[in-house]
Amino acid sequence: MSTLADSSIRRGHSYWWGSFFSMLRFDLMSLRRELVTVALLQLLMGAGMAIIYGFYFDEISPTVATFIVTGTPTLAIVPVGMALVPGVVMQHKLDETYDFLWSLPVPRLTIAASNFVLFTGLALPGVVLSLVVAVWRYNIDLAVSWSVIPAVLLAALMANSVGFSFAHAISEPRLTNLIVNMIIFLVLLFSPVAFPISNFPDWFASIHRVLPFFHMANIIRGGLTQGIVEDIVVSYVVVVTWMVGSWAVAAWVVGRRR
């Protein structure tokens, strides 16, 4: 960071990209001790929850097994984007290093961009590992298509964007922690991620058609299966809307800091 601080030219594409990669290294080094914990958390949330769901049934049909398995990527993405990202921000606030982060001699947009890229990248290994374990456990064949790649990337980026925006927008870390726990609880027990949304009462299904979790699972499931996903275009629109809305909040938070 010292090179950037001493530079007399602090504008243009070269400076922006140099700042971005400096922030990426800074963030990665800050998280180096937590990387193993992140991987374990994703495996427990993804494959672990999928395996536990299987204990709820005496017999599991191929359709049920497919829903469980294809829900694991979403279960692996959520703890990174909506728990780890806010957790890092909370730690900065509790350690009183939050103002230092914003005082670094880099464009503020690079701080957000570094977070989005780093945590999206951290989500991917857990997605793959959780999916492999779940497929092995239920012994099903998936119809994988190229569309699963943008679906996973979009879902991970959206989750990271939501976590980043509300963690920075809320000044009180304890309130952020409460919201994080509520999200994890909601996704694990009350979201149609590993089972069809038609299993829910109409009023509850309507709520989840506005929330992003069902739609995250839907677009990923569309890239892993054939014939069981409906209204995938709507799901893409909802996920993109949540992501853009989160970026708007993040831009407001970044812009209001002095």
**Distance of CA 124 to CAs 81, 145, 189, Å?**
11, 17, 23
Whether the model pTM is above 0.85: yes
Percent of the chain with pLDDT over 90: 34
- Confidence check: pLDDT of 7 > 60: no
Contact 37, 79 (CB under 8 A): no
| Nearest CA among 218, 250, 256 for reference residue 235 | 218
**Residue pLDDT, tens place only, 148-169:** 999 999 999 999 999 999 998 8
Q: Could you give phi then psi for residue 107, rounded to 5 degrees?
A: -60, 140
pLDDT at 258: 55
**Residue pLDDT, tens place only, 119-148:** 888 888 888 888 988 899 888 889 999 999
- What six digits make up the tokens of 60? 């599991």
pLDDT at 30: 83
**Residue pLDDT, tens place only, 206-246:** 999 999 999 999 999 999 998 889 889 999 999 999 999 99
- Confidence check: pLDDT of 2 > 70: no
- What six digits make up the tokens of 83? 């728990």
